[in-house]
Amino acid sequence: MNFQRSTTITSTVTRIPEAEYVNPFVLKLDLDDPWERRKTYLMTLLVLPIRVVLMGLCLLVAWAFASIGLYGLTEKERRSVPIAGWRREMRELTAVAMRMVYFFGSFHRIRVNGVCASPREAPIVVVGPHYSLFDGIVVAYCGPSTVVAKSKAADLPIIGKIIDITQPIYVCREDPNSRHITRHLIIERVISKEDWPQILIFPEGTCSNGHAVVQFKPGAFGPGLPVQPVAIRYPNRTNTVSWTWEGPGVPVLLWRTLTALHTGLEINFLPVYYPNEQERNDAKLYALNVRNYIAQSLGIPGTEHGYNDCKLMNYMIAIGMPYFAWSHDIAKMRRWLGLADGKREQELVEQYAPFTDRNAFVTLEEFAERLNVSVDNDSTRILFKIFNKDKDSAGVIDFRQYLLLALFLSTLGKPKLDLMKLLFKLYSEERDLIGSDGLYQAVKHLASITPAECNRLFAEADTSQRGVISFEQFERTINSHAVLNELQELNEPKPYAAPQPQSAPQTS
């Protein structure tokens, strides 16, 4: 069955009701239920060891088949000529062995709907939403297909050979030209008359909790050729598979998945998507429409969250900034409320500083009043909920935490010293005067400094030994310290820095 669009979905800004708002980068996975806790611990003792052994054996068998299939091929031949004959049979056997790895890993209920199209009909397969490394099983159900993978994956023991047998397109994210090179290699493969397998891509470029489909990167859609969308879903009561920016890491996810009785997975091969002329000429529009098509097939929303947010989240993690997984949401709600320039928050710092427990904790009504926005606005309520520990509109939030994130986001691209001036006031103890603890709170996100080093810096600046210093005293003191160089840097992610999230996935 083919799919030909007669109309085009256009990109518009949509206000999302509070009850429907989704952050795809957050996952909570607890063992609060007593029965679930007992079952998990029992499975850990009795079943997990057996599963690990069986999975390990299947993985070794897959590695053996892959090694045989690649034997005698040079690196250049692996990259430039599609394998054929008995080598292709070894690739098929590798895929079968990998299916068994998943079977012994609790994936007993994999349901496949639809049919995988031929490489001639759809040379590229795009899969979403991207949950985690578990999604790799889709490769085995697509022929197996070629994947786009990080170049470092080739050096992984055992797994490297298994990836190599698919003849992947390797991408080096540290290379600033990587995106263009990868796009060129994809186009070279899909227009080739050689018998290459389909190229499978997770176009989101990062993982999510599966509650929404994030923005697609346009690389897979640049050639303007038909693609086959594949919508996947894990229909389990507890989500143990999503590797998100805020949530459990790989060890916990593996443990919880391998100790589950069953882990269900649905692989839905949707009809081949044939781009219209407008989409062929606009890869971003093409990517948006396919993203929306996959989201609609699953009955979940598409979202503005995307891979570009990962750069900012990596940066926020590196400098110890809280609420990094909510940076996109905070920025968007503030933009919708007309607060993006940060002027209102700067006025509030001047008005309310110094902050104490008496004036720092605010209700939703007080929060809206201070920001001069409507309390009934969904954006106001969503923004408040982000900073509320219970993630609801009741109770209170620490207004200082909101101001920290608002000032940080509104000074992106400016010298860190500009943000330091604002934080100096935010954490002041007296009007425009700050203590040693407040100084560390202000500077710790902007420079590499320990509490002890900060205390020494404070003591040097506090020539009158009053216990508080002004910004002018601080500025004079740092002229002879290395911290000045860091504060003169721009408040922004470093270009082409390798992503290093706490628990976030880095998949192609």
Look at the block and give the residue holding tokens 């002004």: 470
DSSP code, position 111: E
Whole-structure pTM value: 0.86
Q: Report the alpha-carbon distance of residue 347 to residue 407 in Å, rounded.
A: 11
**319 pLDDT higher than 90:** yes
Mean per-residue pLDDT, 149-176: 82
Report the pLDDT value the prediction gives residue 173, as an integer from 0 to 100. 65
Q: Report the alpha-carbon distance of residue 132 to residue 503 in Å, rounded.
A: 11
Q: Confidence class of residue 36 from pLDDT cuts 50, 70 and 90?
A: confident
The terminus-to-terminus CA distance of the chain in angstroms comes to 29
Question: Which of helix, strand or coil describes residue 264?
Answer: strand
The pair phi, psi for residue 262, each rounded to 5°, is: -145, 150
Q: Report the alpha-carbon distance of residue 256 to residue 36 in Å, rounded.
A: 11
Q: Report the alpha-carbon distance of residue 159 to residue 168 in Å, rounded.
A: 13
For 140-178, b/e burial (b = at least 16 CB within 10 A) is: bbbbbbbbbbbeebbeeeebebbbbbbbbbbbebeeeeb
Mean per-residue pLDDT, 130-135: 94
Mean per-residue pLDDT, 81-108: 94
Question: Which of helix, strand or coil describes residue 200?
Answer: strand
Report the pLDDT value the prediction gives residue 78, as an integer from 0 to 100. 83
Do residues 468 and 434 make contact, with C-beta atoms less than 8 angstroms apart?
A: yes
Is the pLDDT higher at 187 or at 101? 101
Do residues 334 and 383 make contact, with C-beta atoms less than 8 angstroms apart?
A: yes
**Residue range 434-470, pLDDT digits in tens:** 999 999 999 999 999 999 999 999 999 999 899 999 9
Mean per-residue pLDDT, 420-432: 93
Report the DSSP pairing between strands 199-201 and 146-150: parallel
Q: Which of 25-29, 270-274, 305-309 has the highest mean pLDDT?
A: 270-274
Q: Report the alpha-carbon distance of residue 189 to residue 124 in Å, rounded.
A: 10
Using a 10 angstrom Cβ sphere, with 0-12 exposed, 13-18 middle and 19 or more buried, the burial of residue 9 is middle
Report the pLDDT value the prediction gives residue 480, as an integer from 0 to 100. 81
Helix axes 436-443, 416-426, angle to 10 degrees: 140
Q: Confidence class of residue 215 from pLDDT cuts 50, 70 and 90?
A: very high
**Residue range 381-416, pLDDT digits in tens:** 999 999 998 766 678 999 999 999 999 999 999 999
**Residue range 241-257, pLDDT digits in tens:** 999 999 999 999 999 99
Q: Confidence class of residue 504 from pLDDT cuts 50, 70 and 90?
A: very low
**205 pLDDT higher than 70:** yes
Helix axes 327-336, 399-410, angle to 10 degrees: 80
Question: Which of helix, strand or coil describes residue 266?
Answer: strand
Q: Confidence class of residue 501 from pLDDT cuts 50, 70 and 90?
A: very low
**348 pLDDT higher than 70:** yes
Q: Report the alpha-carbon distance of residue 394 to residue 329 in Å, rounded.
A: 19
Do residues 207 and 128 make contact, with C-beta atoms less than 8 angstroms apart?
A: no
- Is the Cα torsion angle 168, 217, 492, 351 positive or negative in sign? negative
Is the pLDDT higher at 191 or at 471? 471
**Residue range 254-273, pLDDT digits in tens:** 999 999 999 999 999 999 99
DSSP code, position 97: H
The pair phi, psi for residue 295, each rounded to 5°, is: -60, -45
Is the pLDDT higher at 72 or at 177? 72
**431 pLDDT higher than 90:** no
Helix axes 48-70, 250-258, angle to 10 degrees: 110
**8 pLDDT higher than 70:** no
Report the DSSP pairing between strands 124-128 and 2-4: unpaired
Mean per-residue pLDDT, 25-44: 90
How far is Cα of residue 156 from the mean position of the Cα atoms in its chain?
22
Dump the DSSP string for 348-387.
HHHHHPSP-HHHHEE-HHHHHHHHT--TT-HHHHHHHHHH
How much of the chain, in percent, has pLDDT values that exceed 90?
A: 70
Question: Which of helix, strand or coil describes residue 187?
Answer: helix
Report the pLDDT value the prediction gives residue 434, as an integer from 0 to 100. 95
Q: Which has the closest alpha carbon to 301: 129, 131, 132, 130? A: 129
Q: Report the alpha-carbon distance of residue 283 to residue 198 in Å, rounded.
A: 19
Could you give the angle at the alpha carbon of 469 between the alpha carbons of 465 and 472, nearest 5°?
130
145: left (phi over 0), alpha (psi -120 to 50) or beta: beta
**3 pLDDT higher than 70:** no
| C-alpha distances out from residue 300 to 16, 24, 112, 231, Å | 13, 11, 19, 11
Using a 10 angstrom Cβ sphere, with 0-12 exposed, 13-18 middle and 19 or more buried, the burial of residue 251 is exposed
Token readout for 61 is 């068998």
Report the pLDDT value the prediction gives residue 307, as an integer from 0 to 100. 86
Containing 3, the helix (H) or strand (E) segment is strand 2-4
For 31-43, b/e burial (b = at least 16 CB within 10 A) is: eeeeeeeeebeeb
**2 pLDDT higher than 50:** no
Report the pLDDT value the prediction gives residue 505, as an integer from 0 to 100. 36
